[in-house]
Amino acid sequence: MTLKDIAASLGVSVNTVSRALADKDSVGEDTRARIKAEAQRLGYVPNSMARSLVLGSAMTLGLVITNPSNPFYSQLISTVEQRGRACGYSLMLLVTEESPEADQRAAEALLRWGVDGALVVPVQSDGQHWERLNESGVPLVLLNRDFPDLALDFVGVDYEHGAYEATRHLIEGGAKSLCLMEEDLPISPVEQRTAGFRRALAEAGIEPSRDPVLSVPTRRRESQALPWEPADAYRLAQDIVAGGDLPDAIMVGNDYFALGVYRALSEAGLRVGEDVLVGGFGDHPFAAYLTPALTTVRLPVAEIGTTAVDVLLKRIQGGTDHQAEKRHERCELAVRASSRATVRASTSEDTTT
Amino acid sequence: MTLKDIAASLGVSVNTVSRALADKDSVGEDTRARIKAEAQRLGYVPNSMARSLVLGSAMTLGLVITNPSNPFYSQLISTVEQRGRACGYSLMLLVTEESPEADQRAAEALLRWGVDGALVVPVQSDGQHWERLNESGVPLVLLNRDFPDLALDFVGVDYEHGAYEATRHLIEGGAKSLCLMEEDLPISPVEQRTAGFRRALAEAGIEPSRDPVLSVPTRRRESQALPWEPADAYRLAQDIVAGGDLPDAIMVGNDYFALGVYRALSEAGLRVGEDVLVGGFGDHPFAAYLTPALTTVRLPVAEIGTTAVDVLLKRIQGGTDHQAEKRHERCELAVRASSRATVRASTSEDTTT
DNA sequence: ATGAAAGCGCTAACAG
DNA sequence: CTGTTAGCGCTTTCAT
């Protein structure tokens, strides 16, 4: 079913049909009605591809994600898709699983498809292809992971501040020797959290003898990146426990690591929230339901998703005049039992996220 | 940069360029080399839209998901995207958030874009538009939720069997009065789990006086479906505890519900795995790390994703001749401490999922 | 081996 | 108000 078919069936010209269906003026009321009726009858569906070709816009956004299984990103996918569609845009999704090659291929694919713009969580080994894509005229917004040196829009979390606040909270709770467990990816969120953590330590005058920032090795399994494995954090935590000088507070870069830490500690007969305080990142759905409930930094995922889309759309419409803007959205600490030495059980308020 | 530009710059015809770049025969070796070099130099990128328009295929698959935040679906997104891209297909993602209207709009969008085929987790209120889309010539594979009456391919989990096995396991563990907590969506997985649960009860000669299948109300929050809220299960579990006749085993339709159940029970001074056995569904990353570790049914997500893509591609290539096939993949019970009255702590084997 | 011409389905400029 | 013409970028006949 094409415009041509309708036109033929009605004995009018193709573009009268086009205009009638597009509700343009300069079409007789009766003709329009007849055309619409016929279109309905024949089950006409406009061909987006042809339309895009001539219009020069596919009304499509690209979304490049490293790992959809990460709850932060899965929520982002949902938000972005909905916000985009609300503005008339379809979504083309690309998954990179932390592979630099996939990241590069993603940039090419976006260029080929002529998306109107793209939201990108980059594999942060190299950002040149993203810069090039942007220079090719495809507006880009980096999500969550920034290349500070590149003049690309960015929307993400203020991890530095989040880590700082959380660490300070632990210190105020009495912690004197703290450590931070982070995934071993060279990405800006890790850097920022590390910086925030160190700042809090420095401000409190805590000077650990050894580097308090520990790296949890990232593994890969058949085309899947596994950066957030409780098992890996579990092993590292076991080592810490076995190693002798136990910290009295452990920060982790994501809530999944906290699961491993919980287990290692409890197996060693240590009580989380009493012997050792624990703080996480992400406020994943299970965090409030652990025993003890996990203190964690809540990330403004929805804001980030919708803001990113809005920034991108402004870029698409407005052109490329104004400077790149880097937005770091504030996050909020959800205090629960794992960081309150004095409190035994969590209150039910904590569960209503 | 278009073929035309390259052609002009080299003084050859457009379609010589086209064939040279497509590595077709009937192009002189020297010409081809010159053309390729020039294409490289000018940074030529083929326009997928124009290509699709003339070829009649966009090399694109549609993926319709109700809720990306559901770990089962987020993993599915990842698998499908990768498998699809490995076969040369791009992915267009649509999110419905359990909204029947969005579900309908998704079908239209797919038709407009002329995707080569689609994988669909349908909002199961009505499947007619999917049937129509399929009849319009867009091959379709239903994911996870089936319309048994419609002649559409389906790939999903054998929930009936999974629930049956899990329930039997609980009964063998000594349970005499069991209940099942399910989300209140009218979808085939819930039906199947319920059926499996009931079959296990019946076989064991257990005849509860009241209906043992309990429904956890699904809520919505600003364009987001929340079918799996620990808080909701928590409340329901509280009611059960308060209600008097406590079951000695609780099955839940997903692991998130188990979180709520754990809390309600422990707040009532009941010990999971001793006073009350608990079994879940999904084997979410946190399941093995709860205290006690959660016995749960592991779903073959990766198999389902890749199988679904393969079935779809066969459909796309093979045509629409053979009958619809419905594949229910077997799942596997991960037995852990929450269902072992005799075991106190979980062994570390359980954690290496 | 190469070029010219036609067309995918649609929209935008012009005429009339 | 409507029809004609042209063209988006590419591929596929068909000539040469």
pLDDT at res. A227: 84
Which chain B residues are closer than 8 Å to A75 by Cβ? 68-69
Q: Which of A69, A75, A230 sits opposite B78 (nearest CB)?
A: A69
Give the model's confidence band at A346: pLDDT under 50 very low, under 70 low, under 90 confident, else very high. very low
Q: Which residue of A has its CA nearest to B344?
A: A267
Contact B230 A285 (CB under 8 A): yes
> Given a cut of 60, is residue A99 above it in pLDDT?
yes
Predicted confidence at residue A324, as pLDDT, reads 92
At residue B350, the pLDDT reads 46
Strand C contact with A57 (CB < 7 A) = no
pLDDT confidence of A120, banded at 50, 70, 90? very high
What was the pLDDT predicted at B313? 97
Res. B227 pLDDT band, cuts 50 70 90 = confident
Topology of the domain comprising B3-46 = 434 Repressor (Amino-terminal Domain) (1.10.260)
* Cα first-last separation, chain B: 50
Predicted confidence at residue A341, as pLDDT, reads 67
pLDDT band at A5 (very low <50, low <70, confident <90, very high): very high
H/E run at residue B178: strand B178-183
Q: With contacts defined as CB-CB under 8 Å, which chain A residues touch B67?
A: 78
Write the pLDDT tens digit of every residue in B48-66: 999 999 999 999 999 999 9
The answer to whether residue B262 scores a pLDDT higher than 60 is yes
Question: A-chain residues within 8 Å CB-CB of B231?
Answer: 351-352
CB pairs under 8 A between A and B: 162
Query: Are the C-beta atoms of A305 and A80 separated by less than 8 Å?
Result: yes
Contact list, A352 vs chain B (CB under 8 Å): 231
* Tens digits of residue pLDDT in A51-82: 999 999 999 999 999 999 999 999 999 999 99
pLDDT number for residue B57: 95
Confidence at residue A342, expressed as pLDDT on a 0 to 100 scale:
55
Token readout for B315 is 């459909």
| Location of each CATH 3.40.50.2300 domain in chain A | 60-152+301-329, 159-295
Q: Do A48 and B113 touch (CB under 8 A)?
A: yes
pLDDT of residue B353: 40
- Give the β-pairing of A153-157 and A178-183: unpaired
Q: How far apart are CA B330 and CA B298, in angstroms?
A: 9
pLDDT band at A335 (very low <50, low <70, confident <90, very high): very high
Give all strands of the β-sheet with B90-95 in edge-to-edge order.
A326-329, A153-157, A140-143, A117-120, A60-65, A90-95, B90-95, B60-65, B117-120, B140-143, B153-157, B326-329
- Which residues from B are below 8 Å from A81, CB to CB? 68, 93-95
| Residue in A46, A114, A263 nearest the CB of B289 | A263
Q: How far is B2 from chain A (nearest CA, A)?
A: 12
Instruction: Give the number of other CB atoms < 10 A from CB of residue B75.
Output: 19
Contact between residue A47 and residue B114 where contact means Cβ atoms under 8 Å apart: yes
Q: Which nucleotides of C are covered by protein (CB under 7 A)?
A: 1-13
Which positions on chain D have an atom < 7 Å from some protein CB? 1-13
- Residue A264: the pLDDT is 97
In the DSSP assignment, the letter for residue A88 is: T
The pLDDT mean for chain A works out to 93
Question: Which pairs from B18-23 meet CB under 8 Å and 24+ separation?
Answer: B21/B46
pLDDT for A347 = 43
How far does B41 lie from chain A, in Å, by closest CA?
14
More confident residue, A254 or B219: A254
Q: Is the CB of A263 less than 8 angstroms away from the CB of B351?
A: yes
Pairing of strands A326-329, A153-157: parallel
Q: How confident is the model at residue A320 (pLDDT cuts 50, 70, 90)?
A: low
**SS3 for A142?**
strand
Pick the residue from chain A with its C-alpha nearest to B260: A289
Identify the pLDDT of residue A222: 76
Environment class of A211 (CB within 10 Å of its CB; exposed 0-12, middle 13-18, buried 19+): exposed
- Which residues from chain A sit within 8 angstroms of residue B259, using beta carbons? 285-286, 289
Out of A306-310, A346-350, B134-138, B307-311, least confident range = A346-350
B55, B60, B78, B284: best to mutate for the A interface, most A CBs within 10 A: B78
pLDDT at position B346, please?
A: 38
Biggest alpha carbon–alpha carbon distance for chain A: 89
pLDDT surpassing 80 at residue A319? no
Give the model's pLDDT for residue B345: 37
Superfamily the domain B159-295 falls into: Response regulator (3.40.50.2300)
Structure tokens at B217: 């109300």
Q: B272, B338 in Cβ contact below 8 A?
A: yes
Mean pLDDT of B161-177: 97
Q: Which of A48, A91, A95 sits opposite B112 (nearest CB)?
A: A48
- Mean pLDDT over B149-168 rounds to 97
Question: For strand C, is any atom closer than 7 Å to the CB of A18?
Answer: yes
CATH 1.10.260.40 residue ranges for chain A: 3-46
pLDDT band of A344, cuts 50, 70, 90:
very low
B149 CB inside 7 Å of strand C:
no
pTM of the complete model: 0.94
Q: Which of A48, A267, A351 sits opposite B234 (nearest CB)?
A: A351
* A345 pLDDT higher than 70: no
Q: Which of B51, B81, B265, B286 to mutate to test the interface with A (most CBs of A within 10 A)?
A: B286
Does the structure show a pLDDT above 80 at B137? yes
Pick the CATH number of B60-152+301-329 from 3.20.20.60, 3.40.50.2300, 1.20.1050.10, 3.40.50.720: 3.40.50.2300
pLDDT band at residue B342 under the 50/70/90 scheme:
low
CA of A123, closest CA in chain B: separation in Å? 16
Judge if the beta carbon of B28 is closer than 7 A to nucleic acid strand C.
yes
pLDDT value of residue B25: 78
Protein residue ranges contacting nucleic strand D, Cβ under 7 Å: A 11-16, 19, 25-28, 30-32, 50, 53-54, 56; B 2-4, 14-15, 18-19, 21-22, 46-47, 50-51, 53-55
Tell me the nearest-neighbour CA distance from A208 into chain B, angstroms.
Answer: 30
Return the nearest residue to D5, CA–C1'.
A15
A31 Cβ within 7 A of any nucleic strand C atom: no
pLDDT higher than 70, residue A240: yes
pLDDT, tens digit (0-9, with 9 covering 90-100), for A193-231: 999 999 999 999 999 999 999 999 888 887 788 889 999
The answer to whether the Cβ–Cβ distance between B53 and A48 falls below 8 Å is no
Indicate the residue type of B243.
G
